[in-house]
């Protein structure tokens, strides 16, 4: 851990799994750069990766175990906390059996942590009640892979995206969610413009900016679309007969099932609400192009027919024999950094370990023998949604939540709150001090975070990479594997005396090779990595499993016992809950470019808050008219399960009848913006994955008397404010506020809110009482300390201009006049909302440069004003601004 020597590690965010070089500088700051030797990113990082250095500070870190005493969480020693966990679990198991306790873990754990959690539950507690947030993420892909291939295998690799002649992105906003892969696609199209890109997504997303064809499919209808494609392929005679005959079974059944509803393309186009010409163009291009990669993500998985969506895609690849060869194949893009590692250790409630099956006695015996475990779980455990219901009903009495924030991320999230409130023992291991879930813990355990912990992760292309520590452990925080081993040992279980992640990885690797032959053969095999000593593990370079095999199934040998792939008949079905009179709109939820999930880390970086500062409801302008909600104002979205409030926007990409809300805001940073509370808890019958992309909702005005915002160097007390969002700024906090009560004395109210007492304070203000407009600025030693703007309408001054004043040591006369006027005086144009987070370039600056300098390409914009020149995450948006400028001209 010497300073100034770069440490090679892996990005803790998305499943692309980019290599990072982190350097501790003499002043303690961390310099983050892409690792040019890592095959996933070859030195590039997206905006979230490049801002990692800003998220590593001590703010909001959990540093000490806490135990609830007399209803209040109080600091405790590790000994006390661990005894409380071990003793609590032991007592509940003794009284009610092993299935009365559960673990709920995360695809953000390292493989080593995950391995221990799974071994602890399935081999020692003796229950399979361990599920993970991967249930919310990849479980439909897992189930689809197992049905088709016989094992949960991603057949291809990233290079296939560069070798393909056609790339189909289904339910994936790759530009924002897998930005480095998207950049690899963008680059290849610069050298090979003939490569076709098709995007299948109900929304017009940033990903569509590069697409030759965007199919805005009706939400939930992908199975019709791909069944229709299968029928088209059969009709056009492009079935790979030889491959199908020798290496698969079930095509006839799958085709027959597809023909029932999807034999007529015009009918399919009608159901999918697609332009039939556009849809047929896709079918024809797919039929005519051998090298096709179909990459898919949450628009596919998070559906009540998610597993069938996966198989309907795989069916088309199997039928054409396009799998496991360079430039072709179905490709599940994984979400979390270690979604894949979790599957390797069997972290889901219906899996064992090392790709062995829970319902197979031979497999159970294999794992139990290898572990020398006293027990082995013999039945699948509860899947996430069932698990929180079993907690609420009292069937499960203790839950240990590690590295996930279910109060925000689960569907029907208020149910999770009710469940945790009823639960006898709630243990939460996290790195952040304040999260919605933490608030319901009986025991809070501080974990080591990225940069402090050691272990491995596996990315979407089966590539294992090391995460390495480059910072000391903060406070009393400990690695998750360590805490799990400590609890297991305190419960009297042998087999947890590990002293390092290397020792755990070694056991995990050996299990993958154990009896891996004959009837027990599986492709997941870490042979070659099963005898690493500490030095070799430390030096482990990124590599795919099985070693040296970039692609699998190219030889036509699949993992089912007979070696054949299966076509799965996929009869299409509509999402369980359809819109009706009460709830006429379909709520779609997902991600924005610069935030990660519940924002416990990305929310700390000012650089990442400029792009989208607040939760929003994206709606079509005509629907907004219909439901009397207005752009810029607040609205309430509600379903039969719950409600949330956010600002109405017209992003331009939403079709009528739908709304889109981002998933990132929680009670920790906003009054009422947790969209999970609204989402229906419907799940896919095979995978148990929730239908996050389809909830019937209604929208109505959220009436307020005033809108306001505050920029303040110190935090505010928000008691009594009906609506608020807190945003991390550069040297200040920004608050967007709104209230439902009239304020009689705006001046007095503002002083109280900002905590400014006494006449001596340097407080300048302006009041237009009849209009209800108030502006005030609080200076300290000539420097801006706080400012507040109030108006009955959301027509408040530019935050980006005011934010820039916080960087100044002194306010000059023009600044002082400007702040009361609410606009800059003689300081040039306001930059507008951030587009390029790396260089802090705003929308207005880019638009002005495009017009004034007559720019026509993104490269020219970068050359002129730098925007887009670092990580490239904003290039799709710059392209959109160029397009808008062209249209306006």
Binding site for Mo ion (CB under 5 A): 137, 335
**Residue number, 644 or 776, with CB nearest to ligand MGD:** 644
SS3 at position 199: strand
Q: Tell me, residue by residue from 98 to 117, as one string, x for binding to ligand MGD by CB under 6 A and - for no binding.
A: --------xxx---------
Q: Which does 180 bind (CB under 5 to 8 A by kind): ligand MGD, ligand SF4, Mo ion, none?
A: ligand SF4
Min separation Cβ 95 and ligand MGD, Å: 28
Does residue number 137 form part of the binding site for ligand MGD (CB under 6 A)? yes
User: Burial, 866: exposed, middle or buried (Cβ in 10 Å; 0-12, 13-18, 19+)?
Assistant: middle
Min separation Cβ 817 and Mo ion, Å: 49
Q: Which does 226 bind (CB under 5 to 8 A by kind): ligand MGD, Mo ion, ligand SF4, none?
A: none
Q: Which of residues 20-79 bind ligand SF4 (CB under 6 A)?
A: 41, 45-46, 48-49
* Percent of the chain that is helix, strand, coil (3-state, to 5): 35, 20, 45
**CA–CA–CA angle 547, 548, 553 (5° rounding):** 95
Between CA 317 and CA 293 the distance in angstroms is: 9
Min separation Cβ 428 and ligand MGD, Å: 8
Q: Where are the alpha helices (DSSP H) in 346-401?
A: 361-371, 384-393
**Residue number, 176 or 282, with CB nearest to Mo ion:** 176
Q: Are 289 and 196 in contact (CB under 8 A)?
A: yes
Q: Which does 16 bind (CB under 5 to 8 A by kind): Mo ion, ligand SF4, ligand MGD, none?
A: ligand SF4
Min separation Cβ 475 and ligand MGD, Å: 14
Between CA 699 and CA 218 the distance in angstroms is: 20
Between CA 339 and CA 397 the distance in angstroms is: 27
Between CA 814 and CA 589 the distance in angstroms is: 44
**Residue number, 150 or 335, with CB nearest to ligand SF4:** 335
**Residue number, 687 or 880, with CB nearest to Mo ion:** 687
Between CA 128 and CA 57 the distance in angstroms is: 37
Give the pairing of strands 658-662 and 585-590: parallel
Collect all residues with Cβ–Cβ distance below 8 Å to 625 and sequence separation of at least 6.
Answer: none
Q: Which does 247 bind (CB under 5 to 8 A by kind): ligand SF4, ligand MGD, Mo ion, none?
A: none
Does residue number 663 form part of the binding site for ligand MGD (CB under 6 A)? yes
Min separation Cβ 337 and ligand SF4, Å: 7
Q: Tell me, residue by residue from 303 to 342, as one string, x for binding to ligand MGD by CB under 6 A and - for no binding.
A: --------------------------------xx------
Does residue number 591 form part of the binding site for ligand MGD (CB under 6 A)? yes
Does residue number 603 form part of the binding site for ligand MGD (CB under 6 A)? no
Q: Are 29 and 6 in contact (CB under 8 A)?
A: no
Q: Tell me, residue by residue from 249 to 288, as one string, x for binding to ligand MGD by CB under 6 A and - for no binding.
A: ----------------------------------------
SS3 at position 23: strand
Single out the residue of 308, 430, 672, 691 in contact with ligand MGD (rule: CB under 6 A): 430
Min separation Cβ 34 and ligand SF4, Å: 7
Between CA 435 and CA 862 the distance in angstroms is: 38
User: Burial, 741: exposed, middle or buried (Cβ in 10 Å; 0-12, 13-18, 19+)?
Assistant: exposed
Between CA 140 and CA 332 the distance in angstroms is: 10
Min separation Cβ 19 and ligand SF4, Å: 9
Min separation Cβ 623 and ligand SF4, Å: 33
**Residue number, 18 or 67, with CB nearest to ligand SF4:** 18
Single out the residue of 164, 180, 509, 779 in contact with ligand SF4 (rule: CB under 6 A): 180
Q: What is the DSSP string of 595-651?
A: --TT-TTGGG-GGGTSS--S-EEEE-HHHHHHTT--TTSEEEEE-SS-EEEEEEE--
Q: What is the DSSP string of 740-780?
A: SS--S-HHHHHHHHHT--STTSEEEEEEETTTTEEEEEEEE
Q: Are 407 and 673 in contact (CB under 8 A)?
A: no
Min separation Cβ 649 and ligand MGD, Å: 15
Does residue number 158 form part of the binding site for ligand SF4 (CB under 6 A)? no
Nearest partner of 235 among 258, 213, 215, 267, judged by Cα:
258
Count other Cβ atoms within 10 Å, centred on residue 643. Answer: 18
Q: Which does 403 bind (CB under 5 to 8 A by kind): ligand MGD, Mo ion, ligand SF4, none?
A: ligand MGD
Query: What region does 380 belong to: left with phi over 0, alpha with psi -120 to 50, or beta?
Result: beta
User: Which CA distances in Å does 786 have to 6, 710, 793?
Assistant: 39, 7, 21
Please provide residue 167's backbone torsions phi and psi, each rounded to the nearest 5 degrees.
-120, 125
DSSP state of 683: B
User: Burial, 795: exposed, middle or buried (Cβ in 10 Å; 0-12, 13-18, 19+)?
Assistant: exposed
**CA–CA–CA angle 160, 163, 164 (5° rounding):** 85
Total number of residues that touch ligand MGD (CB under 6 A): 61
Which stretch, 16-24, 64-72, 540-548, 840-848, contacts ligand SF4 (CB under 6 A)?
A: 16-24
Q: Which does 861 bind (CB under 5 to 8 A by kind): Mo ion, ligand MGD, ligand SF4, none?
A: none
Total number of residues that touch ligand SF4 (CB under 6 A): 14
User: Burial, 762: exposed, middle or buried (Cβ in 10 Å; 0-12, 13-18, 19+)?
Assistant: middle
Does residue number 600 form part of the binding site for ligand MGD (CB under 6 A)? yes
Does residue number 11 form part of the binding site for ligand SF4 (CB under 6 A)? yes
Residue nearest to Mo ion (CB): 335
Does residue number 93 form part of the binding site for ligand SF4 (CB under 6 A)? no
**CA–CA–CA angle 683, 688, 690 (5° rounding):** 40
Q: Where are the alpha helices (DSSP H) in 372-493?
A: 384-393, 406-409, 413-422, 480-490
Single out the residue of 558, 596, 763, 789 in contact with ligand MGD (rule: CB under 6 A): 596
Q: Which does 18 bind (CB under 5 to 8 A by kind): Mo ion, ligand MGD, ligand SF4, none?
A: ligand SF4
Does residue number 14 form part of the binding site for ligand SF4 (CB under 6 A)? yes
Does residue number 179 form part of the binding site for ligand SF4 (CB under 6 A)? yes
Q: Which does 679 bind (CB under 5 to 8 A by kind): Mo ion, ligand MGD, ligand SF4, none?
A: ligand MGD
Does residue number 456 form part of the binding site for ligand MGD (CB under 6 A)? no
Q: Tell me, residue by residue from 821 to 860, as one string, x for binding to ligand MGD by CB under 6 A and - for no binding.
A: ----------------------------------------
Does residue number 197 form part of the binding site for ligand SF4 (CB under 6 A)? no
**Residue number, 13 or 104, with CB nearest to ligand SF4:** 13
**Residue number, 174 or 312, with CB nearest to ligand SF4:** 174
Single out the residue of 231, 431, 668, 847 in contact with ligand MGD (rule: CB under 6 A): 431
Does residue number 459 form part of the binding site for ligand MGD (CB under 6 A)? no
DSSP state of 461: T
Q: Which of residues 203-232 bind ligand MGD (CB under 6 A)?
A: 203, 205, 217, 219-220, 222
Does residue number 482 form part of the binding site for ligand SF4 (CB under 6 A)? no
Residues that bind ligand MGD (CB under 6 A): 14, 48, 106-108, 133, 136-137, 170-173, 176-177, 200-203, 205, 217, 219-220, 222, 297-299, 302, 335-336, 402-406, 408-409, 429-432, 435, 447, 449, 453, 480, 588-591, 593, 595-598, 600, 663, 675-676, 679, 692-693
Residues contributing to the site for ligand SF4 (CB under 6 A)? 11, 13-14, 16-18, 41, 45-46, 48-49, 178-180
């Amino acid at each position: 851990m010497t300073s100034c020597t770069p440490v090679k590690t892996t990005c803790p965010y998305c499943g692309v799994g980019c290599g990072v070089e982190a350097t501790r500088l003499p002043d303690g700051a961390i310099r983050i750069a892409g690792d040019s030797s890592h095959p996933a990113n070859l030195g590039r990082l997206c905006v979230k990766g490049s801002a990692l250095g800003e998220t590593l500070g001590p703010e909001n870190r959990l540093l000490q175990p806490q135990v609830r005493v007399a209803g209040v969480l109080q600091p405790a020693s590790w000994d006390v906390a661990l005894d409380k966990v071990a003793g609590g679990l032991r007592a509940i198991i003794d009284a009610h059996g092993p299935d009365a306790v559960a673990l709920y873990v995360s695809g953000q754990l390292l493989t080593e942590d995950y391995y221990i959690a799974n071994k602890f539950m399935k081999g020692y507690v003796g229950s399979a009640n361990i599920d993970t947030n991967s249930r919310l993420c990849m479980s439909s892909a897992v189930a689809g892979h197992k049905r088709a291939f016989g094992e949960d295998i991603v057949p291809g690799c990233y290079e296939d995206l560069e070798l393909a002649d056609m790339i189909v992105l289904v339910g994936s906003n790759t530009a924002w969610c897998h930005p480095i892969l998207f950049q690899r696609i963008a680059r290849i199209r610069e050298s090979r413009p003939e490569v076709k890109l098709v995007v299948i997504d109900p929304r017009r997303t940033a990903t569509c900016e590069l697409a030759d064809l965007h199919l805005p499919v009706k939400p939930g209808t992908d199975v019709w679309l791909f069944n229709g494609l299968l029928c088209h392929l059969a009709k056009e005679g492009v079935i790979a007969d030889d491959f199908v005959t020798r290496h698969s079974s079930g095509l006839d059944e799958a085709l027959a099932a597809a023909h029932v509803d999807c034999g007529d393309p015009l009918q399919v186009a009608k159901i999918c609400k697609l332009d039939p010409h556009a849809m047929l163009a896709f079918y024809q291009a797919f039929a005519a192009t051998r090298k096709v990669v179909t990459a898919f993500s949450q628009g596919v998985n998070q559906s009540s027919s998610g597993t069938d969506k996966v198989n309907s895609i795989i069916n088309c690849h199997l039928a054409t024999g396009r799998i496991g060869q360079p430039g072709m194949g179905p490709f599940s893009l994984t979400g979390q950094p270690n979604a894949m590692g979790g599957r390797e250790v069997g972290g889901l409630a219906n899996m064992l370990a090392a790709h062995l099956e829970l319902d197979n006695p031979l497999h159970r015996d294999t794992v139990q023998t290898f572990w020398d475990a006293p027990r082995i779980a013999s039945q699948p455990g509860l899947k996430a949604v069932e698990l929180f219901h079993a907690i609420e009903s009292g069937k499960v009495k203790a839950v240990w939540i590690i590295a996930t924030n279910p109060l925000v991320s689960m569907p029907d999230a208020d149910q999770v709150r009710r469940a945790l409130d009823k639960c006898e023992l709630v243990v939460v291991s996290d790195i952040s001090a304040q999260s919605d879930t933490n608030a319901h813990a009986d025991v809070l355990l501080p974990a080591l975070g990225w940069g402090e912990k050691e272990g491995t992760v596996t990315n979407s292309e089966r590539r294992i990479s090391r995460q390495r520590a480059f910072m000391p452990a903060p406070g009393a925080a400990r690695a998750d594997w360590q805490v799990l081993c400590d609890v297991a040992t305190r419960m009297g279980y042998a087999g947890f005396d590990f002293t390092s992640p290397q020792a755990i990885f070694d056991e995990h690797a050996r299990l993958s090779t154990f009896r891996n032959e004959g009837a027990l053969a599986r492709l997941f095999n870490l042979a070659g990595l099963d005898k690493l000593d500490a030095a070799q593990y430390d030096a482990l370079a990124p590599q795919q499993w099985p070693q040296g095999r970039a692609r699998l199934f190219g030889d036509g040998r699949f993992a089912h016992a007979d070696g054949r792939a299966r076509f799965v008949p996929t009869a299409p079905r509509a999402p369980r809950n359809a819109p009706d009179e009460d709830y006429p709109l379909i709520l779609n939820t997902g991600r924005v470019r610069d935030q990660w999930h519940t924002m416990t880390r990305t929310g700390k970086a000012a650089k990442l808050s400029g792009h989208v500062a607040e939760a929003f409801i994206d709606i079509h302008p005509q629907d907004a008219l219909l439901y009397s909600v207005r752009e810029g104002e607040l609205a309430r979205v509600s379903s039969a399960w719950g409600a949330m409030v956010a600002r109405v926007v017209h992003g331009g990409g939403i079709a009528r009848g739908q709304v889109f809300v981002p998933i990132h805001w929680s009670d920790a940073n906003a009054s009422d913006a947790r969209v999970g509370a609204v989402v229906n808890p419907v799940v896919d019958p095979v995978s148990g994955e929730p239908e996050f992309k389809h909830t019937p909702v209604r929208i109505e005005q959220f009436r307020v008397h005033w809108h306001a915002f505050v920029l303040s160097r110190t935090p505010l007390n928000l008691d009594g404010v009906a609506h608020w969002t807190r945003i991390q700024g550069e040297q200040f906090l920004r608050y967007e506020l709104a209230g439902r009560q009239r304020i009689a004395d705006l001046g007095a109210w503002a002083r109280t809110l900002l905590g400014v007492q006494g006449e001596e304070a340097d407080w300048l203000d302006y009041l237009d009482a009849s209009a209800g407009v108030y502006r005030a600025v609080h200076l300290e030693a000539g420097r801006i300390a706080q400012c507040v703007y109030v108006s009955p309408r959301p027509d408040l001054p530019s935050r980006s201009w005011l934010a820039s004043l916080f960087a100044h040591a002194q306010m000059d006369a023009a600044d002082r006049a400007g702040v009361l006027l609410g606009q800059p005086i003689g300081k040039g144009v306001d930059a507008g909302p951030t587009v390029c987070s790396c260089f802090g370039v705003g929308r207005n600056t880019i638009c002005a440069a495009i017009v004034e300098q007559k720019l026509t390409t993104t490269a020219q914009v970068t050359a002129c004003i730098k925007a887009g020149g670092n990580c490239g995450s904003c290039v799709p948006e710059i392209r959109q601004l160029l397009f808008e400028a062209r249209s306006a001209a």
